[in-house]
Amino acid sequence: MIRFEAVDKWYGDYHALQSITAEVAQGEVVVVCGPSGSGKSTLIRTVNRLEEIQKGRILFGEQDVHARALDINAFRSRVGFVFQSFNLFPHLSAAQNIMLAPMNVLKLGRARAREKAEQLLARVGLASKADAYPGQLSGGQQQRVAIARALAMDPPAMLFDEPTSALDPEMVGEVLQVMKSLAREGMTMMCVTHEMGFAREVADRVWFMDQGRIVETGAPGDFFERAQSERARRFLSELRAH
Ligand code: ADP
Ligand code: MG
């Protein structure tokens, strides 16, 4: 579903992604972890072309993401991307935030878009919040609206970049719960997260990054019990110490 083929990226002289070759299969859940600055956000952002690459190729389904002729805005709206900051439009209600792209990009009628928004809000546990504005919602609720908004475009895969990092601890669980249910429904997911409980429970594979490379990949059980690289073992012991 998502394939990186010998991808390199530089920010100026800084070699941010180095010879990345990896694949997320259909229905697979991959958790990307690694120390701060290792290139996790850069990697995930290349998939919907928020970042350009200088070498190699990225395929999203059949689509060559970095093809010159790609209609970037249309493509981007079809890839579900959830950030650390929720980025909801503050002047639009939860339902209106979700209806925007289906109406503008898919040309769905207002009534149908509203119906879909209500279904999605129910799916993320917010059936009663359709007409609430972001300012009236908690961080965890806003992030769930952001997930519903991404789902409204029927994305073939969902990308998450630290979706719970900006949340108060008591709200992390409700967002992870929604992500777990998506995973169980067979959604293809690439998740940058430090939530190792989530990784253990739902990831099919863990990718460990350091200094712009994928240093190690493995099934979560293997990665957590028997990480191969010294760098990964140190990362895990620092994480456990927190
Ligand atoms: P992570 O998400 O793993 O913390 P990032 O992908 O955000 O790491 O960053 C990887 C490296 O690239 C870091 O050293 C960071 O400083 C650098 N970097 C990220 N974005 C930019 C940018 N826009 N310009 C220059 N350097 C950047
Ligand atoms: Mg990051």
Inform me whether the pLDDT recorded for 54 exceeds 90: yes
CA distance 209 to 164: 19
pLDDT digits (tens, 9 = 90+) for 107-160: 999 999 999 999 999 999 999 999 999 999 999 999 999 999 999 999 999 999
The predicted pLDDT at position 241 comes to: 86
CA distance 190 to 214: 14
Q: Closest Cα to atom 14, ligand 1: which residue?
A: 37
Q: Is the CB of 39 under 6 A from ligand 1?
A: yes
- For range 16-34, the mean pLDDT: 98
- Shortest-distance ligand to the CA of residue 211: 1
pLDDT digits (tens, 9 = 90+) for 38-47: 999 999 999 9
- For range 191-213, the mean pLDDT: 96
Spacing, Cα 110 to ligand 2 middle (Å): 36
Q: Closest Cα to atom 1, ligand 1: which residue?
A: 37
Q: Using only the alpha carbons of the chain, give its radius of gyration.
A: 18
Inform me whether the pLDDT recorded for 73 exceeds 90: no
Q: Closest Cα to atom 25, ligand 1: which residue?
A: 11
pLDDT band for position 16 (50/70/90)? very high
Inform me whether the pLDDT recorded for 74 exceeds 90: no
Place of tokens 């059949």: 62
pTM score, whole prediction? 0.96
- Shortest-distance ligand to the CA of residue 161: 2
- For range 7-30, the mean pLDDT: 98
CB distance 123 to 184 below 8 Å: no
Q: What percent of the chain has pLDDT over 90?
A: 93
CA distance 15 to 212: 7
Of ligand 1's listed atoms, the one at least distance from the Cα of 14 is 26
Q: Is the CB of 111 under 6 A from ligand 1?
A: no
Give me the chain's average pLDDT, please.
96
* Cα→Cα distances 96→134, 151, 154, 158, 174, Å: 11, 14, 17, 21, 22
- For range 72-96, the mean pLDDT: 92
